[in-house]
Every structure is written in structure tokens, then in C-alpha cells.
């Protein structure tokens, strides 16, 4: 695994056990992982292997049974809920398989709202949201609601929303799993380029091995343990 010295995100000894009656289900059995700024890592593994659970723990949405989640050198594992929420707002970005855009708001407003929640003033948030939409060719779609956008456009908006507050870490759970192959490839390359350009440490769960091969490295989750599965490194223009 990567060196932890300059890690944006470090998972150390992460264990997660769920109880079903008298039975203990060990989903994660000692995960160690470090992500550097600008590094994009693919997380692969069969359905039910615990990829979403690992992302939720890394994103401070769940607390592990044991182990540490270290963000920017700070152990965030035992922090109070209020401080964990603050870290999620300012230091973490999330992208899911389904865009989860607010249907009653426009593409621009969805990105603005994420910034307002983080304390950015409305004018600054609006300018930045428009700049972000322009980055992925959606400036002319800024005033369209999600239902008026294609699947690929919706997911581009969701990615821009996740990056709006300049997080140090991006966590994505099958971010193109709901798109056709061609659109999926385009959206994924935009996500990879944005993460690298902005120096964001990204952990992206995907079932698509071709997409995984475009990332800097691949880790595989099997039987509750994480294994280095090779490096991708295919970049646009290479």
C-alpha cells in the first residue's frame, strides 16, 4: 500500500463486524490503505464484499468496529458527530451510482446549495458553480432541472457538486454504474482528470475493470481483506 507520510486519507486496521442475533459477520477484517493527493485508486470486488461499507467508513458516515480513519494527518475516528459532519462538508466529496440531485432545483442550484451549506456566500457559490459546469460542457444546461438532463449530464452535475467545496478526498461508489458504456467512459475520464488536476485523493468503487485500468492503481476487497491488484495509470493523452 502507499506510504502514509503524505497521505490525504489513511485507513489503519479497519474492522467492521455486524451482529445478526448471536452470529457475528466480519465484513472488514483489518483494512490498511493510504491515498496520496492527486492519486486515483480503483476499489474492486464482488457484490457484497463490503466496498460500500468501506467507503462509508472512509467518509465518516459509519464508525468502524476497530481501527482508525485519518484525514490530513488527523485521527477522525472518535470525533463527535458535529465535527465529523464539519469534516464531511469541507474535506470530503461523495459521488454515488444514482446522482441524488434535488429534483426541484436546477443544475446550477444543486451545486450552489452544497456550497451554501459549507458557509460560502451566494454570489461566490453561483460563480463557482457556473465555472464548474462550464468545465464539463454544461454551462448552457445550468438552468435545467435534473429531469431535463440526460443520465450523463446528471452525473456530471453530481460530480461537480462533490468537488464544489474543494475537498481533499473524493469517494465514489459505482459513479458510472447507471450509464451506458460510452457515456460511462466519458464521465469517468472527466472525473479522473478533475481529481488529478485538483490534487484530490480519490477512491472509486467500480465493477468495470476497463474503467479501473484507467486509474493509478487498483485494490481488491476479498473476504474482508484488501489486496493490491495492480496499477492502472492510463491517462487521457497517454
Strands of 82-163, DSSP E: 92-96
Domain assignment present for 8 = no
Q: Exposed, middle or buried: residue 68 (CB in 10 Å: 0-12, 13-18, 19+)? A: middle
Domain assignment present for 207 = yes
pLDDT above 90 as % of the chain: 61
Domain assignment present for 101 = yes
pTM of the complete model: 0.86
Report the range of poorest mean pLDDT among 2-16, 19-33, 93-107, 191-205.
2-16
Domain assignment present for 135 = yes
The 10s digit of each residue's pLDDT in 126-169 is 999 999 999 888 999 999 999 999 988 998 899 899 999 989 99
Domain assignment present for 105 = yes
Domain assignment present for 148 = yes
Mean pLDDT of 188-215: 88
Q: What is the total count of domains within the chain?
A: 1
| Domain carrying residue 91 | 36-64+80-230
**CATH number of the domain where residue 91 is located:** 3.40.50.300
Give yes or no for a contact between 39 and 202, defined as CB atoms under 8 angstroms apart. yes
Domain assignment present for 161 = yes
Tell me, rounded to whole angstroms, the distance of Cα 208 from its chain centroid.
16
Q: Nearest CA to 115 among 103, 104, 100, 130? A: 130
Band the pLDDT of 1: cuts 50, 70, 90. Answer: very low
The 10s digit of each residue's pLDDT in 66-96 is 999 999 899 999 899 999 999 998 899 998 8
Q: Nearest CA to 148 among 202, 211, 106? A: 106
Domain assignment present for 13 = no
Amino acid at each position: 500500500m502507499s506510504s502514509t507520510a503524505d497521505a490525504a486519507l489513511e485507513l489503519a486496521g479497519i474492522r467492521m463486524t455486524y451482529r445478526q442475533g448471536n452470529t457475528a459477520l466480519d465484513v472488514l477484517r483489518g483494512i490498511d490503505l493510504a491515498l496520496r493527493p492527486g492519486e486515483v485508486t480503483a476499489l474492486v470486488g464482488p457484490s457484497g464484499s463490503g466496498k460500500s461499507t468501506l467507503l462509508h467508513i472512509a467518509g465518516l458516515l459509519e464508525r468502524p468496529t476497530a481501527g482508525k480513519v485519518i484525514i490530513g494527518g488527523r485521527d477522525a475516528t472518535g470525533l463527535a458527530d458535529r465535527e465529523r459532519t464539519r469534516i464531511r462538508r469541507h474535506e470530503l466529496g461523495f459521488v454515488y451510482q444514482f446522482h441524488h440531485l434535488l429534483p426541484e432545483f436546477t443544475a446550477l442550484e444543486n451545486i450552489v446549495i452544497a456550497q451554501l451549506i459549507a458557509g460560502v456566500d451566494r454570489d461566490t457559490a453561483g460563480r463557482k458553480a457556473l465555472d464548474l459546469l462550464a468545465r464539463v460542457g454544461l454551462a448552457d444546461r445550468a438552468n435545467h432541472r435534473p429531469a431535463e438532463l440526460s443520465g450523463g449530464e446528471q452525473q456530471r452535475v453530481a460530480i461537480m457538486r462533490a468537488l464544489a467545496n474543494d475537498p481533499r478526498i473524493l469517494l465514489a461508489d459505482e459513479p458510472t454504474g447507471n450509464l451506458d458504456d460510452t457515456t460511462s467512459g466519458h464521465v469517468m475520464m472527466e472525473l479522473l482528470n478533475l481529481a488529478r488536476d485538483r490534487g484530490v485523493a480519490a477512491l472509486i468503487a467500480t465493477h468495470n475493470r476497463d474503467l479501473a485500468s484507467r486509474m493509478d492503481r487498483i485494490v481488491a476487497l476479498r473476504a474482508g481483506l484488501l489486496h493490491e491488484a495492480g496499477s492502472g495509470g492510463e491517462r487521457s493523452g497517454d
